[in-house]
Amino acid sequence: DAKTTQPNSMESNEEEPVHLPCNHSTISGTDYIHWYRQLPSQGPEYVIHGLTSNVNNRMASLAIAEDRKSSTLILHRATLRDAAVYYCILRDLRNNNAGNMLTFGGGTRLMVKP
Amino acid sequence: KAGVTQTPRYLIKTRGQQVTLSCSPISGHRSVSWYQQTPGQGLQFLFEYFSETQRNKGNFPGRFSGRQFSNSRSEMNVSTLELGDSALYLCASSLVRGVDYGYTFGSGTRLTVV
């Protein structure tokens, strides 16, 4: 199964953009890239997902490298409420069972300084 | 609209007992999955239900079981509790099965086994 690699932690200043990287060098052509985040004392929260093209929604943007071996979650203006663990997860379109379970790695703990 | 509701929020049980946790998905969501979160192992997939059928199961012993009802509500049961079963148990729901959809998680049930 394709795996993801993320930095253990990152720091950001409030109101500045944050770029959270994810490496997935063994990604297959049918793997969707999903991002979730987990705020303290809460369950994970879906952020965004994409396949090949960059994606934007009200929470964040997802930039996917042309070779798809890496991706970056972009928070345009970090707030204190964005302090959380961010998980990058691959979901395989081909495998209807494995693709329907989320395999969480260690994620990136984002700390936001006021 | 109401989110994913898990009950109870907190539970203390004694070794050897059994426990049942409940999850009410978002109205209209038919796929329900369960996850276990511990400090040592992180977030791990337990099982997935869709249309009252278990579609996928993680690598957990047979003491862990679940079911889904016709209204999509789900329960999970752990029998013969062990100290290592102390964890946050999270339920997630999705409209349908498919990697092009995100999951909505509940806030979890914190189980402590003493």
DSSP per-residue letters across B59-100 = S--TTEEEEE-TTS-EEEEE-S--GGG-EEEEEEEESSS-TT
The residue-averaged pLDDT of B28-37 equals 95
Residue B78 has pLDDT above 80, yes or no: yes
- DSSP-derived pairing of the beta strands B104-105 and B109-113: unpaired
Pick from A46, A92, A99: which is nearest to B102 by CB? A46
Residue B5 has pLDDT above 80, yes or no: yes
Substitution target in A100, A108, A109 with the highest count of B β-carbons within 10 Å is A100
* Chain A residues within an 8 Å CB radius of B100: 32, 49, 93
The residue-averaged pLDDT of B82-103 equals 92
How many inter-chain contacts (A to B, CB under 8 Å) are there? Answer: 63
Per-residue pLDDT band at B2 (split at 50, 70, 90): confident
Substitution target in A101, A103, A104, A109 with the highest count of B β-carbons within 10 Å is A101
The residue-averaged pLDDT of B24-48 equals 95
Residue A78 distance to chain B (closest CA, Å): 22
The residue-averaged pLDDT of B48-74 equals 95
Provide the token pair at A26. Answer: 């063994």
> Which pLDDT belongs to residue A68?
96
User: What does the longest C-alpha to C-alpha distance in chain A come to?
Assistant: 44
Between chains, do B43 and A102 touch, taking CB under 8 Å as contact? yes
Distance from C-alpha of A55 to C-alpha of B102, rounded to nearest angstrom: 14
SS3 category, B40? coil
Distance from C-alpha of B54 to C-alpha of B62, rounded to nearest angstrom: 14
Residue B112 distance to chain A (closest CA, Å): 15
For chain A, 114 residues long, the average pLDDT of each consecutive 10-residue run is: 89 97 94 95 95 94 97 97 96 80 94 96
**Residue B5 touches chain A, beta carbons under 8 Å:** no
Q: What is the mean pLDDT of chain B?
A: 95
List all residues 6 or more positions away from B23 whose beta carbon is below 8 Å from its beta carbon: B4, B5, B6, B32, B34, B73, B74, B75, B76, B91, B93, B106
Distance from C-alpha of A110 to C-alpha of A87, rounded to nearest angstrom: 11
> Which pLDDT belongs to residue A1?
58
Residue B91 has pLDDT above 70, yes or no: yes
